[in-house]
């Protein structure tokens, strides 16, 4: 269904083929390597070696302009990272709190919209699908600037719409200050992120179309309620895609950078609530040019991302249903 099963099945095919290769097989293997060679070189040059180098860098006080002046500082960068730098924990907390708010809202919205866009009772389905996808095509920087305008407390349409609909006097400089109020800033950022859920909607849509309609009909005949059908048929049947969306959203949120950087240049405004982990990384590595420390920050991100993805994959077998799975 997705990468998970791909990996499992390709690992399975790996076993049981340890015998010597025949001449034809050798020829085939050579051609195979010739075709994937490009990627192998790229993998070494742009992933494996830099990963190792990054680890080495994290033990150095790296001077990029005069590499010969770089000194080995042992665990100094790591000590600073784990025990001394309060911004590390602050930015990690910011990143995780935002993920905890933004991820569920984003995933539920994507699923909800997919269910609506999959409804047989919707007139003009294809047009609606295209239009709901369109904001995902808006260049990210342009999208952020558009949102920053529409969220303006006095002149933006959001407060004006709220004022018009509810009568509350919110459309003025002291009204709802979406981008300045630390209490709602994560909701604001989540709202901006909703413009990027087009792909998740499409994955959900494709998965919903793959659920055999006989299942729903059979459940209906058995008297299952709407909610029961949702919980016992739809969600399990599309759980692989939910899992896939979860992993991808999570990976994306760990690298959250562009929205806060474009909105406030990475100064954490308001009250440090938008000082995300990658902002810290960017400032240390590319503004203060402390690349040894930057490498340590990046490695910690890698370790955390790996740990959480591994946890997600480990829990997957309890709640993700694969139709083609052999038990």
Partner 1 sequence: MARPNPAMPIYGDANLAERDARNAQRAQRARRDAANRSLIVKTLITSVVLVLLLLYLMPLGYSIVTSFSSKSQVSDVRAPVLPSARMQFEYQRRTLDVLEVPIDGESRELALVRSGRASSTFVDPADPAAGEIEWEGSWRTLAPVYTLDIEWENYPRAFQFIDFMQLLRNTLMYAFITTIAATASAAVVAYGFARFRFPFKGILFMLLISTIILPPQATLVPQYAVFFRLGWVGTWLPLIIPTFFANAYNVFLLRQYFLTIPTELEEAARVDGAGPIRTFVSIILPQAVPALIAVSLFHFFFAWNDFFGPLIYLAGSQQLQPISVGLFRFNGLYASEPQLIQAASIMTMLIPLTIFFFAQRFFMQGVVITGVDK
Q: Is 3 in the site for partner 1 (CB under 8 A)?
A: yes
Minimum separation from the CB atom of position 8 to partner 1 (A)? 9
Phi and psi for 300 in degrees, rounded to 5? -65, -40
Please state, in angstroms and rounded to a whole number, the distance separating the CA atoms of residues 147 and 48: 39
Work out how close the CB of 66 gets to partner 1 at its nearest, in angstroms, rounded to a whole number: 11
Size of the site for partner 1 (CB under 8 A): 113
Nearer CB in complex with partner 1: 155/315: 155
- Please tell me the distance from the alpha carbon of residue 129 to that of residue 209, in angstroms, as a whole number: 14
SS3 71: strand
Taking the C-alpha atoms of residue 249 and residue 240, their distance in angstroms, rounded to an integer, is 14
Applying CB under 8 A, among 74, 104, 149, 212 the residue interacting with partner 1 is 149
Residue with tokens 């759980």: 239
Decide if residue 210 touches partner 1 (CB under 8 A): yes
If the CB atoms of residues 100 and 134 are measured against partner 1, the closer one turns out to be 134
Does 275 interact with partner 1 (rule: CB under 8 A)?
A: no
> Judged by CB under 8 A, does residue 131 bind partner 1?
yes
Phi/psi for 113 (5° steps) reads -65, -40
- Identified binder of partner 1 from the candidate list 94, 158, 279, 316, rule CB under 8 A: 158
| Contact residue for partner 1 among 254, 279, 316, 320 (CB under 8 A) | 254
Cα dihedral 42→47→280→182 (10° resolution): 80
* Interface segment toward partner 1; rule CB under 8 A; list 23-31, 80-88, 180-188, 220-228: 23-31
Q: Compute the distance between CA of residue 78 and CA of residue 293 in angstroms, rounded to an integer.
A: 8
- 301 touches 123 (CB < 8 A): no
With beta carbons less than 8 A apart as the criterion, state whether 84 and 319 touch.
no
SS3 label, residue 202:
helix
Assess whether the previous peptide bond of 270 is cis (omega < 30° from 0). Answer: yes
Interaction between residue 64 and partner 1 (CB under 8 A): yes
Residue reference for tokens 């342009």: 142
Stretch binding partner 1 (CB under 8 A), from 52-60, 83-91, 99-107, 177-185: 52-60
Could you tell me the smallest distance in angstroms from the CB atom of residue 270 to partner 1?
Answer: 17
Q: Least distance (Å) from partner 1 to the CB of residue 42?
A: 2
Task: Print the binding letters for residues 105-124 with partner 1: x by CB under 8 A, - otherwise.
Answer: --------x--xx-x-xxxx
**Piece of the chain touching partner 1 by CB under 8 A; list 81-89, 97-105, 220-228, 239-247:** 239-247
Q: Indicate whether 168 belongs to the interface with partner 1 (CB under 8 A).
A: no
Using CB under 8 A as the binding rule, the residues of this chain from 282 to 301 that contact partner 1 are: 282, 285-286, 291, 294-295, 298-299, 301
Q: Quick check: 41 binds partner 1 (CB under 8 A)?
A: yes
Q: Is 72 helix (H, G, I), strand (E, B) or coil?
A: strand
DSSP characters for 194-243? HTT-HHHHHHHHHHHHTS-HHHHHHHHHTT--HHHHIIIIIHHHHHHHHH
């Amino acid at each position: 269904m997705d990468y998970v099963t791909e990996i499992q099945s390709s690992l399975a095919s790996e076993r049981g083929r340890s015998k010597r290769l025949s001449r034809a097989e050798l020829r085939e293997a050579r051609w195979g390597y010739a075709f994937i060679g490009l990627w192998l070189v790229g993998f070494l040059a742009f992933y494996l070696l830099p990963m190792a180098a990054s680890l080495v860098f994290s033990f150095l006080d790296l001077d990029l302009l005069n590499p010969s002046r770089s000194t080995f500082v042992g665990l100094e960068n790591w000590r600073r990272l784990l025990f001394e730098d309060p911004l590390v924990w602050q930015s990690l907390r910011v990143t995780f709190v935002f993920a905890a708010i933004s991820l569920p809202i984003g995933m539920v919205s994507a699923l909800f919209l997919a269910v609506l866009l999959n409804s047989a009772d919707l007139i003009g389905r294809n047009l609606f699908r295209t239009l709901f996808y369109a904001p995902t095509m808006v260049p990210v920087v342009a999208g952020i600037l558009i949102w920053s305008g529409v969220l303006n407390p006095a002149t933006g349409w959001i407060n004006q719409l709220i004022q018009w609909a509810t009568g509350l006097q919110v459309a003025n400089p002291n009204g709802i200050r979406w981008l300045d109020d630390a209490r709602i800033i994560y909701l604001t950022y989540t709202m901006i992120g909703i413009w990027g859920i087009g792909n998740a909607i499409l994955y959900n849509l494709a998965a919903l179309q793959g659920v055999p309609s006989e299942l729903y009909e059979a459940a209906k005949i058995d008297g299952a309620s709407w909610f029961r059908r949702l919980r016992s048929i739809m969600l399990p049947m599309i759980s692989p895609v939910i899992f896939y969306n979860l992993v991808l959203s999570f990976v994306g949120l760990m690298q959250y950078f562009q929205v806060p950087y474009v909105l406030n240049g990475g100064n954490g405004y308001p009250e440090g609530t938008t000082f995300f982990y990658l902002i810290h990384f960017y400032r240390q590595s590319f503004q203060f040019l402390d690349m040894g420390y930057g490498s340590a920050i990046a490695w910690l991100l890698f370790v955390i991302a790996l740990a959480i993805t591994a946890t997600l994959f480990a829990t997957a077998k309890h709640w993700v249903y694969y139709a083609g799975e052999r038990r």
